[in-house]
Amino acid sequence: MIRVWLHMALGFVLGINLVHAQVFVTTEGSHVSINNTNVALNDLHMINNGQLKQSEGQFVVRNKERRVYFEGKNMPELHSMQLDIEGRLVLNTSILVAAELEMVKGEIDLGRHELILPFNESKIVGETSNRRIHSTGGGEIVKLIASKPLEDENVGNLGLVFSKFNLEDTMIIRRGHSSTPLPFGESITRYYKVSTRKKPSDKLELGLEYFEDEVLLRDPKLKEHIWFQNNGSWKNTTAYSRWGLNNGGVIVKGALEVFETIITVGLYKQLLDMSAIPTAFTPNNDGFNDQFIIPGIEKLPNAQVRIYNQWGQLLYSTNNYDRYPWNGILNDKVLPIDKYFYQISDPNNPLEFVQGEISIIK
């Protein structure tokens, strides 16, 4: 196996543009500085046991193998990086990219390590559903940003869009690539951790981007909720808008509290199918359609069902609706033909809230 061994003193400028080898190695104790030079690593892996630092230029990785490895004892610090490979770059070491990580072709698997984007201008470019960054071992992308007004900004192109936020100090955003246990429903395989000094009571409008294949369960009836955790307690808000992206993903928006926060998108299929709930019944004691039957209510044994008239007067309430459905009778008399309103809620599951109209007819 051909190896390129670099024994270099501190401050030495690496003067090569192309390295053709199987492994690019910096040895322990060496210091490699790359200034104003583009380096293209063709068909090789990298082992960085020394100190590799690039102050200018681009570090280009090209490879035809299905797996390319970056490893070593120390973290390489690159100015810019371009990935143009056929398969997957697997990181067995953390990596820092100061300016731009351009995804031309291929994927990056962080493993259990970090991709650090340390400055305001540090960003990912060209990430799509076909060329992307993920992790199989809990590794995260770490983005730092400081003292900057944010308006409809996808910070670092990590997929977390701040509609409007005057950032007065430093904020750290960490993007992870695994599902998160939620109180209800299934999360996508992406989460964000946001650390900022903004007051927890102040709400931000955020957009979350994700790729379709980050959804574990496929069901058109699943509804998106944005979940966020402050101080160990989960809350949720309904995603009030959703649209597709040209990079093979979608974005959802919601208003939520952000402080020391974990944020993810949760997908939940309601146990009650709104389309199956009838819109009318006939309480005429003929043995047919005499009661307002709610299909699936037995799945929510703690559900509270309330019936109101058009003026908001409560006519009927029970938390045992499966056994005692509404028969349209009040004070031993059948209520008149009219529209009425129902609400179904479950104190143990805030996502199971349904309301609608029910009519008494003859």
**What is the pTM (predicted TM-score) of this model?**
0.78
Burial per residue of 309-326, b for 16 or more beta-carbon CB atoms within 10 angstroms, e otherwise: eeeeeebbeeeebbeebb
DSSP characters for 81-118?
EEEEEEEEEEESS-EEEEEEEEEEEEEEE-TT--EEE-
Q: In what order do the strands lie in the sheet with 314-318?
A: 280-281, 349-360, 338-346, 304-308, 314-318
Q: Which of 268, 235, 265, 276 is nearest to 175 (CA)?
A: 265
pLDDT values of the chain reduced to their tens digit, one per residue, 362 residues: 223 333 333 333 343 334 444 788 888 888 888 887 788 888 889 999 999 999 999 999 999 989 999 999 999 999 999 999 999 999 999 999 999 999 999 999 999 999 999 999 999 999 999 999 999 999 999 999 998 888 999 999 999 998 888 888 888 999 999 998 888 888 999 999 988 766 555 677 888 899 988 887 777 777 888 888 877 788 888 777 777 777 777 888 887 777 667 888 887 777 888 889 999 999 998 989 999 999 999 988 889 999 999 999 999 999 999 999 999 999 999 999 999 999 999 988 888 888 999 999 98
Given a contact cutoff of 8 angstroms between Cβ atoms, the answer to whether 270 and 223 are in contact is yes
